Amino acid sequence: METYKHILLAADFSENGGAVTERAKDLADKYQAKLSVVHVMDNLLITDAAYGSTIPFDLDLPAELMAAAKKRLAHLADKLAIPEANQWLEMGSPKLEIIRIAEENNVDLIIVGSHGRHGLALLLGSTANGVLHHAKCDVLAVRIKDA
Ligand code: AMP
């Protein structure tokens, strides 16, 4: 039977319950797969979920924000026993960067969270949707139960 060898968790730090993270860890253990994690700093908008405030900016990303994101990524990676070499902190469009990192590192399963949005939010698109439709490998969208 074909198994997954490299699983990529896309983390936006907005999760409360940790269901997406747990699923990634669980599947990596089950398949004895390498587990990597990526966080993308959106270069148009820093969301309140990740950093506590909403700050639009154009070009230069303040070093403190980068450092804060790195710290959060390292903390999450630590919990999952993911070595530094498998932690990716990128800047740009979350959808495009997640797909790029997956392709460049021979990832065969990407794990994202899904809020199960409807209506306008769905029309506007979401990261989960974008990854699902454009990734060349399998994508698992783990439903996040919104509080
Ligand atoms: P969204 O579609 O924006 O609600 O996000 C759904 C999922 O996409 C999240 O649970 C994450 O798995 C992933 N995601 C969204 N934004 C980012 C980001 N900036 N960096 C990494 N993963 C992200």
Protein residues with CB under 6 Å of any ligand 1 atom: 10-12, 20, 38-40, 42, 94, 98, 112-113, 115, 126-128
Ligand 1 pocket mutation, candidates 9, 112, 134, criterion most atoms within 8 A of CB = 112
| One-letter amino acid of 11 | A
Closest alpha carbon to 140 in 15, 44, 8, 40? 8
For the chain, percent of residues with pLDDT exceeding 70: 78
- CATH for 6-143 is 3.40.50.620
The counts of H helices and E strands in the chain are: 6, 7
Q: What would the pLDDT profile of 56-106 be if each residue is shown by its tens digit?
A: 555 555 778 888 999 999 999 999 999 999 999 999 999 999 999 999 999
In the chain, where the domains are located: 6-143
Lowest mean pLDDT among 17-26, 36-45, 71-80, 113-122: 113-122
Tokens 């924000």, residue? Answer: 65
Ligand 1 atom at shortest distance from the alpha carbon of 111: 12
Cβ atoms of 33 and 27 within 8 Å: the answer is yes
Q: What is the 2 CA–ligand 1 centroid distance (Å)? A: 27
